[in-house]
Every structure is written in C-alpha cells, then in structure tokens.
Structure 1
Amino acid sequence: MFNFKNINKILWVTAGFLVVTTVCSCQGNQGGQTDDAEVSLRDNPNFVIIFADDLGYGDLSSYGHPTIRTPYLDQMAHEGQKWTNFYVGASVCTPSRAALMTGRLPVRSGMASSEVRVLFPDSHNGLPQKEVTIAEQMKEAGYATAAIGKWHLGHKEEYLPTSHGFDSYFGIPYSNDMDNVVPFRSMGGYFEFWKSEERKDINTFNVPLMRDTEIVERPADQHTITKRYTEEAVKFINEKKDEPFFLYLAHNLPHVPLFASKEFEGTSPRGLYGDVVEEIDHSVGQVLDALKQNGLAENTIVVFTSDNGPWLIMNEEGGSAGLLRNGKGSTWEGGMREPCIFWAPGRIKPGIVADLGTTMDLFTTFSNMVNVPIPTDRVMDGVDLAPVLFEGQKSSRNDMFYYRGDKLYAARVGDYKAHYITQDPYGPDAVEHETPLLFNLSVDPSEKYDISKENPEIIAKINEAVKIHNDNMVKGPDQLKDRG
C-alpha cells in the first residue's frame, strides 16, 4: 500500500521545483510565444471545468501558500496559464454558480437576492428554465455533458443539472453544511456550532447524494466524496473519449464541514483544511492523467478555479485570500478574485496573465470555439478569452462589476476600483460612501490605500461606466427569497 505521507513529501519537493520553473518560464513567456509549427485546437475540443468551493486566492502553493502542497495544480500552471486577475460573478455560492452557468451577472436571472444570499433545502425555486446554460450551448454542438459535484442552483427536479443541459448528474445538490440536524436559530448560533465536536460527524449533515434525479445515499459520506467525484469524472472521460465532451466537476470542498479520505487525513502541515485542498489537488492530477492516457490532453481545455473567496470566519477551517483583502461574502478583492489556471499543453500559450477575466467569460469563449451563437435576446456579460489563451493577445475585458445580492457595491475599470458601498461579509451595517473609496489594484491589490481625493478624474471615469451599466440593467425576479 502506498504511503501517502511519504508521497506528499516527494510531491512537495517536486512542487517547489515546479513553482520555481513556472516563475522562470512565465517571466520569459509574457505575451505568449509558441512554435509556428503548432496547430490550433481541432474542431470540437473537449472542455473540463473544475470548480472548488470557498477556496481562497492564497490557498495554492503556486499562488503563494507556504504549507499547502498542490504539485498537480502547480504543474498545470507551469504548463498552462496562471491568471492573477480572474473573478467570479458573486462572493457566495448560488449567484456565483449562476454566473458561470449562464455567462451573465446573476442579478439578471434573479439568482441574486437582497433578502436571501443562497438557495437552501427549503427554497422553492432555482435557475429559471428560460436561462441558457453553458451545458445547453455544448449540447447544441453535439457534446456529451456531465455535471459532477455541487450544483446549488435548485434541488427540485426542474432545476437540477439534467434539466439544464447535462446528460447526467452525480453529486450533492447544495452546500455540504446544509440539512444540519443540530438546530440553531441565528447566524451566531450557526458559527457557535462550528466549535462543537458534532461538526466532525458526517451524520450531522443529512445532505443527499444524487444520481441524476434520484437520491442514492443520505447522508452522503463526505469522507469519500472528493474521491468518488474524481472516480466519476475519470469514468466519464474514459467512456466519452471518442466523442466531444463537456465536464463540470464542482467539488463541495473546502467548504465546511471539512472531510478528507483516510489516505489524506492528517498528512498536510496546514491541518485538515490542507488535507482537503491537497486531496483536491490529487483529484486534479487524476483527471489530467485520464486525459493524457486517452490521448486527449492537447485537445481538451481544462480550467481550475473556485466559486468565491475563503470563509475567513471559520478560522483555521477556512482558507486564505493571500494578500487580498477580506474573503467570502464581501465585495473586497478577497471575496471575488480567485486563483484560475487554464491548461491545454501545446495549445494554450504558457504564461502568467494579469489581464482581467471572469467565470462568465467561459460561456462566451467555449460557445465561440464550438461555433454555437451567443444568445441575442438578452444581455450577456462574457467576453471571448480565446485571443489571450491561444494568441498571446490582450483580454478585451476592461471592467468588473461587484454585486452583493442585487445591489452594486463596487466597480473596476482598468487598474482602478471604486467602492460605492462597503460592508463586512456577515455584518449588518452597509456604509455608503458619498465619495467612493478608490484603489489602484495593480499597485495596491490589498486595497489599503484610498486614493480617491487625488484622483477625481478616475472616479468620474468609473462613474460613467457604472451609469452605462445601470442603464442597461434589467433585474430578474428574485428566485431566492421564497422558502418554507
């Protein structure tokens, strides 16, 4: 039997080498150069999106974590593109996932609410059928599609992945801390619960594991959930190797409660949180190996990122946003800027990319690559990242709009970000700024130094972008508020 503790030590040394070579290689490849003899991706490339839950900007060794060892993701970054200004559509689960699936800010589909931040097991609604998903775009192009892992866009049959363009589904339909059998009456009681020993028992969380529309296990054994998601992903790749496919692998972790398999539990210097992230890294390695073994690596676009920033209030059981300010639940950078790696060896031009990108851009980029038209009957928020990925060009994205619920809190244009409203992730009091706070994110990614007084012309420029944005904003009916 393999000794995973020793393997992890070996991989850690390897990771250190890879991080060094990644920096050297990427510094030499800014702008992206590849051999003229290389050919572009053939028609119908495969797509794999690997989506972590509550993983922070600083939680991978390739993004600066000193004790979490992620050699497979580090190698992925070395061979592909590591993006340093990549955003999600919201700072909490449900709206962020809606943004990825639809290529639209979640407020447009009603998947962002001023009353309830995410969907719950007693929620009535989910992602509306009228929304077009990235999976439906792939189906139109003749792709096999599969969703594995966390969904959190509605647990009723009409809202599940199989009703939104996916041929199959295997996973937990919402957050892994839901269906908690320990009652609590307030958020304070909820956070107090996380100090108890009951959080370590899988039976405390009566979450269902589903296959397509049927519950196959309850409570889900979360000790093995990452391992089983990975096995399902590898099986799908092996079965679909002779046809184009789109795989959405959305891990429930490292969202609390934290559980790791026996092979990884107790092996990370970072503790249980590190165990969980390192097992996800191992999962990434297995997925990439399956692609390589089937001869699919050069014809598959793999993207790794996360749904929002770290849940800092969970202390050592939450992650790190690195040098970014705050975390999950906030519109500070730590809440919505995520690690993101694109990989397709020999095709994607290796390098570190500081241009702007978002999960909403995946819808547009992938649709264009398979020649499926972008919907024209609604406002779309994605841009095509293919010129950056394959041609070394600049991203056409120059702005980012930060929503909390259905209200705009901040906006970025170029290097500059203006905060119109600030609020602690779970604090009750929002502060509206008569003169917005202003930060140069290239110089000050930690958002420490307000430069609004010295730069009224920059604020005026951002204000104009916000006005144009607001003039074109039609908010969808709130899909999250109805519960019970």
Structure 2
Amino acid sequence: MKFQIFLAYIFLLPGIDLASVFAVEKPDSHSRPNFIILLADDLGYGELGCQGNPQIPTPHIDSIAQEGVRFTNGYVSASYCSPSRAGLMTGRYQSRFGYETNPVGAVNEDPNVGLPRMEVTLADRLKAAGYRTSLVGKWHLGGTAYYHPQRRGFEEFFGFLHEGHYFVPPPYDDVTTMLRVNKLPNGTSGRAKFGNRVFSTHMNHAEPAYDTNNPILRSSQPVVENEYLTDAFTREACEFIERSKEQPFFLYVAYNAVHSPLQATDTSMQKFASIEDVHRRIFAGMLSNLDESVGQILRKIEEENLAENTVVVFLSDNGGPTKELTSSNLPLRGFKGDMYEGGIRVPFLMQWPGVTARGEEYAAPVISLDLVPTFVRAAGLEINDRETDGVDLRPYLTKEKSGDPHNVLFWRQKQRAALRMGDWKIVNHSPER
C-alpha cells in the first residue's frame, strides 16, 4: 500500500521523468580494457618478419609490434607446452605447484593430471570481476571434467583438451599433410610423397595419435568441424568479440599452429611454391595462415570500434622444435625442450593504446607470468605480490618506473634448470629422467 502511494505521489509531481526514476545504470563497457591473448604453438623466436625472417611474410602479426612494443627478451616459464600454459594462466612459476611435465596422449586423461584446482587462473579473476571470458583453441591443462576450462574461469570454450590436433579431419582433403613414420611404405628410410601426403622417417618415430579421445568441443559437447582448424578458431574468436563488445572481455585464442601435425592448405602451398623443400613449404603455409587469422581478429577489433580499449598480446608457448618443424630460433641457441635461450625465449608482442609506444623495442627481460598482474591491476582488481611471480609491466612501459622489471628469472623442468640474473645466465642441462 505504501509503495502504491509513493508511485501516485511521484507520478503527480511536475517535471518527473518516470524512465529516469526506474532506469538501471548501464555499466560503461569502455571503463576497463578488453584483453586478448593470441598464443602460437611451437613458434620459433626467429620466424616472424619483425623478428628477422625474410622468407615468410607475417604482416599482420608484425603490425602488433609496429603499433605497440616488441619485447626482445620476452620469455615463457617453460620450454614445453603444458607447463608454459600453466604459468601463463596463473602468473606463477609452475614449479611452485609441481606442474613441470608435459602430458601427452592418454596421460591427458589421467584424473590426477592437470592444472591444480587450488590455483587461480587469470580467467577466474576476470570473470569474478564481471568480464566475459572465452578460450578458443588448445587447453592442454587437463583432459578430464575436473580440469575443464569452464571450471577454470572460462564462460565459453571451443577447442580441444590435449596437446595437439589435426587441422582437418580425414581423409585430409584440400591440404598437404606431412606425417612422421618409422619406415616408408617400401620399408626404407627417408622421405616419400604420395598424392597430397608426405611421409618422413627423419624423427625416427611415428606421428602421435593426436585426435584419439580428443574431439573438437563446444563447451563439453563434441562437434564436427570441417573448416581448417586455424580458420575455425579465428571464426569463433571473431564471433565472441562481436557478442561481447558491450562488456569488458578476456579472450584467449590458443592456436595449435604451427605445432605438428604439419598440414597446410592448398592455397598456402601455392603461395610458397618457390620454397623447394616441401617440409619447409608446409610450415610456411601454416605460419602464413596463422598470420592471416591474426589479421582477421585485428580487423574485427577495429570494425567493432574496440581498438582504443583493447590490449592485444601475441606470443608463443615455447621455442620452435627445429628438426620437427624446420622452425628457426635464430639467433638463439637451442630449441623446444631446452633451457637454452631457443627453448624459452619467444616472439612476444604487445599492443596497448595509451600504454605502449608505437614501434618500441623493449630490451629488459620480461616473462609471460607478467601478464596476470598487468591485466588484473589494469582491470582495477587487487593482486598482491605473494599471489604472483609476475610484475605489472604498465609503469615500465609508460616510463613511470625506471630499471628492469625483474632482477632474476628462473626455470626448472625436472632435472633441467636455468637462472638469468642481469646479462648472466647459468644452465643445468642434465638429461631428463
């Protein structure tokens, strides 16, 4: 009764706009930045145009460096996929919670293997603060329901859970596929081409069964995806941006390119017909396709008028496996799996209007762990130094702080370890047991 009297009273007052009385304030979607992480898989330090590669043009990825900053001493926290992703998602050295190995094959389905549930992810933090969150692509932090991305802070998931996936389903039409084998069909060693398939014994083992018990999922439901997987992930990423443009969002696009299996589209193969080595030509096609996909996402940000308030980071999860992919880590020593620079130092680019200067090269060491505190604090949230091994990079990029963000960086994977202090580095490269 009292509420009805109140309504009648305000209705009779002159100059009262009822719409303004009962309007719910719409949050400003541009008050907090959007965050996009574009993660390449097994991309070597020296493979981008902006990193010095003249053979394979990567103009769209290079544009992130041109419009922002290129970290010339940018590191990840491990030289293998899964532990590196654990560090990226938590902002903590994965050694702190015992996650140093790389689950492959059936081990992904071990209920005891995955990013420990007590660890808080970047998606957890941002989702709790009102961000839309989505993972598109490769997870590789636990292949069972307990570790599913949607139980780790991601509202949406489209991708796969294990370490790798074929880019098209069998019979691999419209692509050239290179497969590792123990022996060629005639029982000898070497390389042989049959139609659109190339077989090679150079790795002395067969291609892993990447797709076994590892379907493409939308949320937790298997789907049939016929589009080349790099393109499919880009499609899903762009659709998420369009759906989420009225809210702050965190989009993690974890491409499986240029990870094996080596599969390049016919169009990409024609583009690099001048490369005689078919092994290298397939790799070039995969990288070029990845670059075009990054370009589509960057264009989508522009089309939705989000560019001025969106942070874009591009990096690789570890160094390139040279023998497997032909990947170059030049001028660095070593490759994926190493504690040498080629295993842990990666292409690392950031575009952030108002924070990064255009075309800057930042030489002080930074690490993927830095993204968690940088993003969390930029979103207006609290994270104390005990919760992260990373550093908020913003004051260093805006020159509010001088000096280096890190005095020491550390890596450990079982018996292998390394430490960098200033310009000095010590490496223990004992064989893994």
Shorter-chain TM-score: what band? 0.7 to 0.9
User: Within 5 Å, which residues of 2 pair with 1:470-481?
Assistant: none
Distance (whole Å) between structure 2 residues aligned to residue 106 and residue 118 of structure 1 = 18
Q: 2: CA distance between counterparts of 1:330 and 1:202?
A: 21
Q: Which residue is 1:259 aligned to?
A: 263
**Partner of residue 284, structure 1:** 294
Looking at structure 1, the residues matched to 95 and 210 of structure 2 have their Cα atoms a distance apart, in angstroms, of 33
What is the rounded CA distance, in whole Å, between the counterparts of 2:104 and 2:364 in structure 1?
Answer: 29
**Alignment partner of 1:104 is 2:98:** no
Question: For the Cα contact (< 8 Å) 2:90–2:122, is it kept in 1?
Answer: yes
CA distance in 2, matches of 1:255, 1:241: 31
CA distance in 2, matches of 1:80, 1:266: 32
Task: State the alpha-carbon separation in 2 of the partners of residues 265 and 346 from structure 1.
Answer: 39
Aligned residue runs from structure 1 range 80-479, under 5 A: 80-113=68-101, 120-124=107-111, 125-176=113-164, 192=182, 205-206=211-212, 207-217=214-224, 224-268=228-272, 269=275, 270-314=280-324, 317-345=325-353, 347-350=355-358, 351-374=360-383, 379-391=387-399, 393-394=401-402, 395-405=404-414, 407=415, 409-419=417-427, 421-423=428-430
Compute the TM-score of the two structures, normalised by the length of structure 1: 0.70
Query: 2: CA distance between counterparts of 1:165 and 1:380?
Result: 17
Q: Which amino acid aligns with 1:75?
A: S
Q: Secondary structure at the match of 1:355?
A: coil
Name the counterpart of 1:29: none
What is the root-mean-square deviation in Å for CA atoms of aligned residues? 2.8
Give the conservation status (yes or no) of the 8 Å contact 1:349–1:391: no
Instruction: Classify 1:387/1:279 alpha carbon distance in 2 versus 1 (closer, same or farther; 3 Å).
Output: same
- CA offset at residue 386 of structure 1? 0.8
Instruction: Tell me the equivalent position of 2:3.
Output: none
Gap runs ≥5 in structure 1: 1-40, 182-188, 430-484
Amino acid at match of 2:228: T
Distance change >3 Å, CA 164–CA 428, structure 1 → 2: closer
Return the offset for 1:261: 3.4
Q: CA deviation at 1:265?
A: 3.2
Structure 1 CA distance, aligned partners of 2:376 and 2:155? 18
- 1:44 aligns to what? 32
Distance 2:215 2:156 in 1: 16
Q: Distance in 2 between matches of 1:276 and 1:45?
A: 31
Quote the residue 2:6 is aligned against. none
Q: Which moved more, 1:101-110 or 1:244-253?
A: 101-110
Cα deviation, residue 313, structure 1:
2.7
Helix, strand or coil for the counterpart of 1:263? Answer: helix
TM-score, normalised to structure 2, is 0.78
Cα distance in 2 between the residues matched to 1:245 and 1:391: 27
Structure 2 CA distance, aligned partners of 1:96 and 1:358?
A: 11
Question: Are the structure 2 counterparts of residues 344 and 203 from structure 1 closer, same or farther at C-alpha, using a change threshold of 3 Å?
Answer: same
* Preserved CA contact (<8 Å) 1:60 1:70: yes
Question: Following the alignment from structure 1 to structure 2, what is the Cα–Cα distance between the partners of residues 256 and 190?
Answer: 10
Task: Find the counterpart in structure 2 of residue 17 from structure 1.
Answer: none
Residue matched to 2:42: 54
* Distance in 2 (alpha carbons) for counterparts of 1:226 and 1:60: 17
In structure 2, relative to structure 1, the CA distance for the partners of 1:161 and 1:204 (3 Å cut) is: closer
Aligned AA (1:242): E
Letter in 2 for 1:121: N
1:422-467 Cα distance to aligned partner (Å, 9 max, x none):
24xxx668xxxxxxxxxxxxxxxxxxxxxxxxxxxxxxxxxxxxxx
1:58-103 Cα shifts (integer Å, max 9, x gaps): 0101101120110111222111101100110100011000000000
Q: Displacement of 1:253 after TM fit?
A: 1.3
Give the 3 Å change call, closer, same or farther, for CA 214–131 of structure 1 in structure 2: same
Rounded to whole Å, the distance in 2 between the matches of 1:193 and 1:242 is 55
Report the residue type matching 1:167 in the other structure: E
Q: Is the 8 A contact 1:298 1:347 kept in 2?
A: no
Instruction: Please report how far the alpha carbon of residue 126 of structure 1 lies from its aligned counterpart in structure 2 after TM superposition.
Output: 1.0
- Name the SS for the 2:146 alignment partner: helix
C-alpha change, 1:208 and 1:193, in structure 2 (3 Å) is farther
- In structure 1, give the amino acid aligned to 2:35: F
Deviation per CA, 1:394-434, whole angstroms, max 9, x where unpaired?
Answer: 442222102123x4621001111112x124xxx668xxxxx
1:477 is matched with which residue? none
Secondary structure of 1:121 counterpart: helix
Would the aligned equivalents of 1:266 and 1:272 in 2 still touch at CA under 8 Å?
no
Compared with structure 1, are the counterparts of its residues 287 and 204 closer, same or farther at alpha carbon in structure 2 (3 Å cutoff)? closer
Number of residue pairs the alignment of both structures matches: 368
Q: 1:134 to 1:196 in 2, by over 3 A?
A: farther
